[in-house]
Amino acid sequence: MEIGSKGFKILKVEDTRQYEEINDRWKPIPGSGMEHDCHRCGKTHEVLYTVECLETKEIFVVGGSCAKAYGMSKKKVASLSNNIKKIKKLEREIEKCKAEYEVNKKAYDAILELTPPEPKHVDNTKHGSEIWVMGDAQVWCSTGFTEERKKCLLDSWRHNCLVKQGFKPYNLHSLPGTIRILEDRLEKIHNKIDELFNS
């Protein structure tokens, strides 16, 4: 293939490999991607660059080193590869968090359906606060068993149910925030890639 005098433009970069989590880090699984023979050198690649010849408008799919050989800046290709990998990792991480949240949410929703035991005033602290229990949950009430204390006791009982089923209630509260942060990060990387394509 001839390299046109106007050069090439990168249209798309795709990391077709699957990623797996090893020791809290996402790593590509070698050989898991969609293999493609490079239009330029014939080698097989799993990270694919779709490039357009600006002169003939022909479109080719090549590997990263061949994209560089087409006159694309090394920095740009490296930055694209880097960001495309980050996207893969982030997408897997978001998927994992969402699945984890769903499992926790489902368990909690089932607990919400349960009829809680009756709250009981069992004792007073030495400072005079009332001690109320619901099953294995307990609250201290310095100004009586108010609506706020009732809710706190019920929440605490549900929390304990979740723990007894082997869940971490912390996940239920923290995962939506974590997912939002990861999605923000993902969006920023997509924007960065768009900038790189248009630069």
Binding site for Zn ion (CB under 5 A): 38, 40-41, 62-63, 66
What's the distance, Cα to Cα, between the start and end of the chain in Å? 25
Shortest reach from residue 36's CB to Zn ion, in Å: 10
Q: Closer to Zn ion by CB, 58 or 91: give it.
A: 58
Phi, psi of 31 (to 5 degrees): 85, 0
Q: Closer to Zn ion by CB, 11 or 41: give it.
A: 41
Return the bridge partners of 14, or none.
48
What's the rounded Cα separation, in Å, for the pair 49 and 39? 10
Shortest reach from residue 46's CB to Zn ion, in Å: 12
| Sign (positive or negative) of CA dihedral 144, 147, 148, 149 | positive
What's the rounded Cα separation, in Å, for the pair 11 and 111? 50
Residue closest to Zn ion when measured from CB atoms: 38
Shortest reach from residue 81's CB to Zn ion, in Å: 14
Q: Closer to Zn ion by CB, 38 or 161: give it.
A: 38
Shortest reach from residue 17's CB to Zn ion, in Å: 17
The encoded tokens of residue 72 equal 């694309």
Position 125: which residue type?
T
Q: Closer to Zn ion by CB, 30 or 166: give it.
A: 30
